[in-house]
Amino acid sequence: MESRIRALGHPVHPMLVTFPIGLWTAAVVFDLIQLTSGNEVFGEVGYWNIVAGVIGAVLAAVTGLADWTGIPANTRAKRVGLLHAGLNTLALLLFVVAWLVRMDNPQHALSGGLFVVEVIAIAVASVSAWFGGELVDRLGVGVHEDANPDAPSSLRLGRG
């Protein structure tokens, strides 16, 4: 089942999800460094990674929703896609909380409790990423109908 939103023959959703996952992971690392070192510059970097990750997550969600609407009803893929979306929404909301709580702090520093929220959000996003892999690798969502080891390039004209 092919993705509904494609660029140069490839599904866009998997391209976009790498940004929030990477940015949020980096944020947690920078925030951990800030908490252990006391250097607020790391908290500032973590904060802006969260902001960029939230923006990226919203863009990824739009393309993911478009793909999910194309999955046939009453299938395992539809249910797994809904679970994947729900977990991603939870992770997004947790990072939005981290963003908003830190917004008015001049150095955007965080507390230990807020760091726990971020770690939970990363754990949720990781579980959701596994379900995303299940959708593609096991259930074939987003995979071109002619995919095989000798398939022609997706850049061939007239191929989508």
Residues paired with 6 in a beta bridge: 11
Q: Judge contact between 139 and 77, C-beta under 8 A.
A: yes
Q: Judge contact between 6 and 146, C-beta under 8 A.
A: no
Q: What does the pLDDT look like over 48-63, one tens digit per residue?
A: 999 999 999 999 999 9
What is the C-alpha to C-alpha distance for residues 65 and 27, in angstroms, rounded to an integer?
26
Q: What does the pLDDT look like over 126-157, one tens digit per residue?
A: 999 999 999 999 998 888 888 888 888 877 75
Q: DSSP character for 109?
A: -
pLDDT of residue 158: 53
Of 108 and 96, more confident: 96
Q: Enumerate the H helices of the chain as residue ranges.
A: 13-37, 40-69, 76-103, 112-133
